[in-house]
Each structure stands twice: as structure tokens, then as C-alpha cells.
Chain A
Amino acid sequence: MPNREKAVSHDKRILVIIPAYNEQHSLPTVISKIRQFSGIDIVVINDGSGDATSTVARTAGVNVIDLPFNLGIGGAVQTGYLFAYKTGYDVAVQVDADGQHNPDDLLNIIRPVLQGEADMVVGSRYLTTTGYKTPWSRKMGMVVLSTVVSLINRQSLKDTTSGYRAVSRRVIEFFADNYPTDYPEVEALVVLKKNGFTIKEIPVTMLAREHGKSSITPLKSVYYMIKVLLAIVMNVLRNPKKEA
């Protein structure tokens, strides 16, 4: 049963977006952990999974959107923002389906958006020592991205690849029309700042993944770095979309 004491907000509608591709094992735990908070709706974007992801989510009783084929993380997350926009949510939160994002941090991520402190709040693994260990090659890539994004945005951002983030209604509206594809997290930070939105980073703890492996291979991470850096440079060269 939802705990009324933990009600997040009484007047604002909050939606948790969980993009899921073949996550039938970890999804039920993630959903049940988020459900301990009342006043938060959940939508699972089933990104053309070949397993029982959709059934598992439906059994759990949350909103499920089945994409007709695999769009990748950018397209899946944007589906969530489009849904949030069309159904009138005030705050949207992205949470990974693999169980690495700790639901205990959920309220901390949402609060600054609810209170109007920032348009986007990013849950960061690196702001404080949270005991999250990464291989050095990956760490170096993260440092490069963090440095580049911090320079462009003129604001220190440590964990640019974190997919644990909450956004305001204005950003939901913006993302419904403009969201990067492929590896969207880093690019989204640059695009948002460029269009006049404010970003805040708060420390979170990451859990070890419960099932499955990371999809990042050495070759993919090289492609990742090149693609993301190119996208960032292009964004710097581009004009802002519109009055945000």
C-alpha cells in the first residue's frame, strides 16, 4: 500500500518514466520500490523488447506504452516526455529499468524541480564519494565529457551521462519536440542550457545492477565519445530553438 506519509506533492502531478528494453527480471523490483511513494505515477516505455517486459509491467499495474519496434534509449525516453506532455504532468523523472538508480534518492531529485530551484535535476554519482567504482578507461571518458560540458555550460557538471534526472513542465514540453537520439544524456544538458533552462546536480548512490550486463563495449565507447562530442560541437554552432 502506498504510504500517505510519503506523499510527494498534493497539487503537482509527477510521472516516473522508465525506458525498458528486455528488463523483465529487474523491472518488478524497480516498480515496487518507486511505488512506496504515493502521488507518483509510473509509465514504462517498452522499447520493442523480445521478452516479457510488457507483461511484467502490466501485471505490476503501471502505465505501459509498447513501441512497435526498438527505437533506442533516446526515442524511448522521448516517448515518455511526449506522453507526460500530452497527459499534463508537471514533473517527469527518468529512472533506469536495470535497478541501478536508487529509489531512495527519488524525492531528493524531484524536490528542487517542485520548488522551482531548477528546470532539471541530475542525480550524480561523483559529487561525493558514493562508493561507485568504474573502470579507469570509462572514468577518463567521463572526465573528458564532464570537462567539455562544464566549459560550454559555464557550470560544473560532474556526472554528465547519468540517466537519473527530473525535469519541469517547461522542459517536458521542450523535450517532447527536441530530444537527442542514440546517446542523449550528455547532449540534453548542452541543449537545455543553450535554450535557457537551469540545471542542478545532486549526489545519489548507485546500486549494483541486478540482472544483465552493461551494454557498453570498448568499440561502442569509442563511437560513443566521438558521436557525443560531435553532437555537442554541432549544438554549440546551432542557434537556440526558440524562446524557451
Chain B
Amino acid sequence: MKFDIFFFAALFSLGFMVVVLEFVRARKLKEQYSLLWLLIGAIMIVLALWRNLLKLLGSWLGIYYHPSLLFIAGILFSFALILHYSVTISKLHTQNVRLAQEIGILNKKIEDLNNRINGGKVSENNAAGPV
């Protein structure tokens, strides 16, 4: 086993996967968001250790400096992951808007109820100020 760039790439990927798994274990990362990361880690390890595969793929694709195939793979995966996050953010945005709308309407209802019961004497102001 040579201690070259392939070895370090594999080592880094392995450490990366351990960190991802640790985040999942500590509940800092949800399982569904960890799967893509683990997949990237696993594929990077395979590419780094199985040199003939890297060479074969490289020659198919006309890449003469084989380690650059690792970079390309890494960058493409990053793009896929970022796109995945854009989709997730869009979904969160939609939910966030609906939550704000419901909070606004609920606050109004609470206020109206308060007015009816206490004659407008408010013990606690629930309306949020602008952030």
C-alpha cells in the first residue's frame, strides 16, 4: 500500500463517513439527509482504492491524469447535493410562510377572545413585533 494521494483520498472519505454517522447518532443530522453523504463517501472510497476501475473509467472518458476523475466525481456530487438542498429550502420556505400566516391569524383570534373576556385588558401581549 503506497501512501499516495489515492490512499489519503480513501482515508479522508472514510473519516468523512465516520463523522456523518456520528452526526446521525447524535441526532444532529437526519437519516434522510445523511444517505446522500454516505453514498458519496462510499463511492469516493471505491474509486480511490480500486485503481484499475479509476484507470478504466479514466481511459473511457479520455482523462489521462486519473486522480482528476476523483475531483470531477466530487464536484458533480456536490452539485447534486446543493440542488437537493435548494429543493429542501423551497419546501421549508413554503412551510415557513404558512406558519407565519397561521400565527398571524391565531394572534388575531386570541386578541379578539381577550377583548371579549377581559374587556380589552391584556395581561400578556402575544403579538410578535417585526423581526
Chain A residues proximal to chain B, CB less than 8 Å: 45, 48-50, 63-71, 75, 78-79, 82-83, 86, 181
* A69→B101 contact, CB < 8 A: no
B101 contacts A78, CB within 8 Å? yes
Q: Which of A49, A69, A83 contacts B105 (CB 8 A)?
A: A83
Q: Interface readout for B82-124 with A: 1 if CB under 8 Å, 0 if not?
A: 0000000000000001001111110110000000000000000
Interface residue tally on B, bucketed by range: 10 to 19
A-B contact pairs, 18 of them (CB 8 A): A48-B130, A50-B130, A66-B108, A66-B127, A66-B128, A67-B103, A67-B104, A68-B100, A68-B104, A70-B130, A71-B97, A71-B101, A75-B97, A75-B101, A79-B100, A79-B101, A79-B105, A82-B101
Cβ-closest chain B residue relative to A53:
B130
B61 at the interface (CB under 8 A from A): no
Query: By the criterion CB–CB under 8 Å, are A64 and B108 in contact?
Result: yes
A-B contacts besides A65-B105, A78-B101, A86-B105, 10 pairs, CB < 8 Å = A48-B130, A65-B108, A66-B108, A68-B130, A69-B130, A71-B100, A75-B101, A79-B100, A79-B104, A82-B102
Interface residue ranges, B against A (CB under 8 Å) = 97, 100-105, 107-108, 127-128, 130-131
Residues of chain B lying within 8 A (CB to CB) of residue A181:
97
Q: Across the interface, do A67 and B108 meet the contact criterion of CB distance under 8 Å?
A: no
In the bound assembly, the distance between CA atoms of A49 and B130 in angstroms comes to 7
- Which 5 pairs between the two chains have the least Cβ-Cβ distance? A68-B128, A48-B130, A79-B101, A65-B104, A69-B131
Q: How far is the CA of A49 from the CA of B128 in the complex (A)?
A: 12
User: What residues of B have a CB within 8 angstroms of the CB of A68 in the complex?
Assistant: 100, 103-104, 128, 130-131
